[in-house]
Structure 1
Amino acid sequence: MRIGIIGAGQLGRMLALAGYPLGQRFVFVDVDEDAPGAQVGRIIRGRFDSPAALAALAASVDVVTFDVENVPQSAAQAVAAKVPFYPPPEALGAGQDRLDEKHLFRSLGIPTAPFAPVDSQQALVEAAESLGLPAILKTRRLGYDGRGQVRLDTLGDLHDAFAALGGVPAILEGLVRFDRELSLIGVRGLDGATAFWPLAENVHVNGMLRQTRAPWDDAGLQADAERHVLALLERFDYVGVLTVEFFCVEGALLANEMAPRVHNSGHWTIEGAVTSQFENHVRAILGLPLGSTKATGHAGMVNFIGQLPPLADALAVEGAHYHDYGKTARPGRKLGHCTVVRDKAVERDAALTHLMSLSR
Structure 2
Amino acid sequence: MSAHATPVILPGATLGVLGGGQLGRMFAHAAQAMGYFTAVLDPDATSPAGRISHQHIRSGYSDAQGLAELARVCAAVTTEFENVPAASLNQLAQTLPVAPAGSAVAIAQDRAAEKAHFVRCGVPVAPHAVIETPEQLAAVPADLLPGILKTARMGYDGKGQVRVKTLEELAQAWDDLGRVACVLEKMLPLAHECSVIVARGRNGQIVHLPVQRNLHRDGILAVTEVYEGNLPLAQAQQALAAAKSVAEGLQYVGVLCVEFFVLQDGSLVVNEIAPRPHNSGHYSQNGCDVSQFELQVRCMTGLPLVQPRLHSASIMLNLLGDLWFAHGDTAQTPAWDQVLALPGCHLHLYGKAQAQRGRKMGHLNITATTAEAARATALQAAAIVGIEAF
Q: What is the percentage of aligned positions where both structures have the same residue?
A: 37
- For residues 49-198 of structure 1, what are the structure 2 equivalents within 5 Å? 49-120=62-133, 123-124=136-137, 126-127=139-140, 129-155=141-167, 157-158=169-170, 160-198=172-210
Shift, 1:201, TM fit: 0.5
Shift, 1:132, TM fit: 3.1
Q: Who is 1:355 aligned against?
A: 381
What secondary structure does 2:190 align onto? Answer: coil
- In 2, the alpha carbon distance for the partners of 1:207 and 1:176 equals 16
- In 2, the alpha carbon distance for the partners of 1:89 and 1:155 equals 36
What secondary structure does 1:92 align onto? Answer: helix
- In 1, the alpha carbon distance for the partners of 2:68 and 2:232 equals 46
1:19 correspondence with 2:19 = no
1:313 correspondence with 2:338 = yes
Residue among 250, 255, 263 paired with 1:241: 255
Residue among 269, 276, 297 paired with 2:284: 269
Q: CA 1:353 to 1:120, structure 2 compared with 1: closer, same or farther past 3 Å? A: farther
Q: Who is 1:288 aligned against?
A: 303
Q: Who is 2:10 aligned against?
A: none
- In 2, the alpha carbon distance for the partners of 1:237 and 1:121 equals 35
Q: Contact 2:42 / 2:50 at 8 angstroms: preserved in 1?
A: no
Q: Contact 1:198 / 1:217 at 8 angstroms: preserved in 2?
A: no
Cα deviation digits, residues 245-287 of structure 1 (max 9, x gap): 0011222210000111111100010001110010111012111
Shift, 1:158, TM fit: 3.0
Shift, 1:59, TM fit: 0.8
Q: Contact 1:114 / 1:131 at 8 angstroms: preserved in 2?
A: no
Q: Who is 1:345 aligned against?
A: 371
Q: Contact 1:121 / 1:163 at 8 angstroms: preserved in 2?
A: no
- In 1, the alpha carbon distance for the partners of 2:313 and 2:274 equals 24
Q: Who is 2:327 aligned against?
A: none
- In 2, the alpha carbon distance for the partners of 1:125 and 1:292 equals 49
- In 2, the alpha carbon distance for the partners of 1:349 and 1:301 equals 10
Code of the aligned partner of 2:172: D
RMSD across aligned positions (CA): 1.6
- In 2, the alpha carbon distance for the partners of 1:94 and 1:131 equals 27
- In 1, the alpha carbon distance for the partners of 2:254 and 2:99 equals 7
Q: Contact 2:128 / 2:144 at 8 angstroms: preserved in 1?
A: no
Worse-matched range after superposition: 178-187 or 146-155: 146-155
- In 2, the alpha carbon distance for the partners of 1:240 and 1:223 equals 21
Shift, 1:239, TM fit: 1.6
Cα deviation digits, residues 282-310 of structure 1 (max 9, x gap): 01211112233111121010001124533
Q: Who is 2:56 aligned against?
A: 43
Q: Contact 1:66 / 1:261 at 8 angstroms: preserved in 2?
A: yes
What secondary structure does 2:45 align onto? Answer: coil
Residue among 210, 216, 220 paired with 1:204: 216
- In 2, the alpha carbon distance for the partners of 1:207 and 1:178 equals 14
Worse-matched range after superposition: 61-70 or 315-324: 315-324
Shift, 1:16, TM fit: 1.1
- In 2, the alpha carbon distance for the partners of 1:236 and 1:110 equals 13
1:214 correspondence with 2:253 = no
- In 2, the alpha carbon distance for the partners of 1:131 and 1:278 equals 42
- In 2, the alpha carbon distance for the partners of 1:59 and 1:232 equals 33
Shift, 1:167, TM fit: 2.1
Q: Who is 1:257 aligned against?
A: 272
What secondary structure does 2:153 align onto? Answer: coil
What secondary structure does 1:103 align onto? Answer: helix
Q: Contact 1:67 / 1:261 at 8 angstroms: preserved in 2?
A: yes
- In 2, the alpha carbon distance for the partners of 1:238 and 1:48 equals 22
Residue segments in structure 2 that go unaligned for 5+ positions in a row: 1-12, 325-333
Q: Who is 2:356 aligned against?
A: 330
What secondary structure does 1:179 align onto? Answer: strand
Code of the aligned partner of 2:279: N
Q: CA 1:359 to 1:334, structure 2 compared with 1: closer, same or farther past 3 Å? A: farther
Residue segments in structure 1 that go unaligned for 5+ positions in a row: none
Cα deviation digits, residues 33-75 of structure 1 (max 9, x gap): 1111023202111111211111111111000000010111111
What secondary structure does 2:358 align onto? Answer: coil
Code of the aligned partner of 1:231: S
Q: CA 1:120 to 1:279, structure 2 compared with 1: closer, same or farther past 3 Å? A: same
Cα deviation digits, residues 105-150 of structure 1 (max 9, x gap): 00110100011011256644542x3443210000000000000001
Q: Contact 2:78 / 2:100 at 8 angstroms: preserved in 1?
A: yes
Q: Contact 1:137 / 1:172 at 8 angstroms: preserved in 2?
A: yes
Q: Contact 1:125 / 1:158 at 8 angstroms: preserved in 2?
A: no
- In 1, the alpha carbon distance for the partners of 2:317 and 2:242 equals 27
Q: Contact 1:111 / 1:255 at 8 angstroms: preserved in 2?
A: yes
Shift, 1:155, TM fit: 4.7
